[in-house]
Chains A and B, each alone.
Chain A
């Protein structure tokens, strides 16, 4: 068994969180730069230029990329040959979020209870998804998810007969309705299949893929392309001010599902897209 101390995990989480709020991802930066050249609207191009300027300012380490420093989402992929020692894994992860919030000067954006709007005061708890995988590795995706784009996300149980065109319509309609308020240009994660709860989980997992990386399944990759093209004909544009760049990328994850069901979910992600992959 490989041993990993919880302290090591906590330190890695702290560094990753502090980093994603001040440094834009290279794949995102490249996608924005490209959009800055291809965007049809002058105002849209100016908006993208401003976002790239924003990234430059954030890199100085004084002001985070966005004031909504979000809810922390962790996807933990733990090798089954790993023995976590030195304490409670979940507690270490949450302690990492707490420490990064303090040291990174992040905003406190979590309420204790959905009805009692009292702030937890330290951005905990993070949402943690665990997966046991073969091997000795430990990989943790760290995401800071803003509320504006999360609020635009939707899921539904479509009829199996709706097929892939049903999914296209569902996603395109969601962007038409809610795209402008979730800080476009967007990144869209789509989940199709599984049970009721699987689709939104897959949609969020789809956001972990590097921007522009197509699905390894040829048909799914084709569907990603079609949906992206359709979304960019809506005219919403950067910031919703009108233009040809409403989304930068679309990623779809699928899972087997019941013969009578077709769960679908789309998770909206904004251009802030604060995400890192930690390997231990």
Chain B
């Protein structure tokens, strides 16, 4: 996909000008987390404790990959539904996360919170697990190993495309995109 190249971890300045509906191509390292891992981080942050990894300037990808084939870092690795993570988002943003990536819309409250904090939301293509799995060139568990596919991994990705769904200019693709094509 042609689009904006973004190096990970993210430079907040690079996020200023990207707009909803634009593709970004990610290269570098990101962290994965989903339901249970996020719940644990949320609990730690709420108690005033440090999360097990430094989340400053990080991008969190909501994913639970399939087991890897021999010699591969991961199996299929597409996004999971972001809305499920909403109760835990304020905690990870407090800990310094600057972008999250998953699939599907987020609630109005979350959109407003992202825009207030200057956090972007990337929508990866749901159901494109094989495509995304092949963009991952390294994987290492960094926390909560006992959670299996739900553990926190550091993934090395290359040329990993996603669409900007919440930008820093007040845009929300999941609202504006459908609005433009509504014919009811």
Contact = CB atoms under 8 A, between A and B. Distances in A.
Contacts of B148: 108, 119
Contacts of B103: 148, 181, 183, 239
Contacts of B69: 61-63, 105
A125 to B, nearest CB: 19
Contacts of A146: 127
Interface stretch (A41-49, A86-94, A206-214): A41-49
Given A107-B65, A239-B125, A240-B177, A233 B184 contact: yes
A180 B104 contact: yes
A237 B181 contact: yes
B45 to A, nearest CB: 21
Interface string B142-184: 0000001100000000000101010000000110111111111
Interface in B101-134: 103-105, 123, 125-131, 133-134
5 contacts: A66-B129, A68-B80, A106-B67, A107-B64, A272-B127
Given A41-B177, A64-B76, A69-B66, A47 B182 contact: no
B53 to A, nearest CB: 22
Chain A binding surface, main DSSP class: loop
Given A64-B75, A180-B104, 20 more contacts: A43-B163, A51-B127, A58-B130, A63-B69, A63-B76, A67-B64, A67-B129, A68-B80, A107-B64, A107-B66, A107-B75, A182-B104, A230-B184, A233-B182, A233-B183, A235-B184, A237-B178, A240-B178, A241-B123, A242-B177
Interface in A84-132: 105-108, 117, 119
B63 interface: yes
Interface in B77-93: 77-78, 80-81, 83
Nearest to B36: A117
A230 B148 CA distance: 42
B5 to A, nearest CB: 17
A148 B81 contact: yes
Contacts of A46: 1, 23
Nearest to B72: A62
Given A63-B75, A63-B76, A244 B129 contact: no
Contacts of A198: none
B123 to A, nearest CB: 7
A175 to B, nearest CB: 11
A257 interface: no
B68 interface: yes
A20 B128 CA distance: 15
Contact of A65 (B36, B65, B76, B80): B76
Most A-side CB within 10 Å, residue of B1, B23, B78, B149: B78
